[in-house]
């Protein structure tokens, strides 16, 4: 089990290195998204991050066309 000092250090590191986005989905969707990510060998966070990146790249390509 992590010590209080370790938890605080992790919290400080995360605050310095990461931004957080709260995402809400309809009941039952989280489980579907998580299962899809796991089938691809990804974490939920990794899958959502990749999906956003791909959508942004696609949108940028559309703007340039």
Q: Which pLDDT tens digit goes with each residue over 45-62?
A: 999 999 999 999 999 999
Say if residue 1's pLDDT is above 90.
no
Say if residue 17's pLDDT is above 90.
yes
Reduced 3-state DSSP string for the chain: CCCHHHHHHHHHHHHHHCCCCCCCCCCCHHHHHHHHHHHCCCCHHHHHHHHHHHHHHHHHHHHHC
pLDDT reported for residue 62: 94
Q: Whole-angstrom Cα distance, residue 51 to residue 60?
A: 14
The model's pTM: 0.78
Average pLDDT of every residue of the chain: 96
Q: Whole-angstrom Cα distance, residue 28 to residue 30?
A: 6
Q: To the nearest whole percent, how much of the chain has pLDDT over 90?
A: 95
Q: Which of 20, 12, 26, 15 is nearest to 45 (CA)?
A: 20
């Amino acid at each position: 089990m992590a010590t209080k000092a370790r938890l605080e250090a992790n919290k400080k590191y995360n605050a310095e290195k990461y931004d957080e986005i709260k995402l809400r989905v309809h009941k039952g969707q989280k489980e579907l998204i998580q299962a899809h990510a796991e089938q691809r060998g990804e974490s939920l966070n990794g899958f959502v991050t990749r999906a956003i990146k791909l959508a942004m790249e696609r949108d940028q390509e559309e703007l340039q066309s």
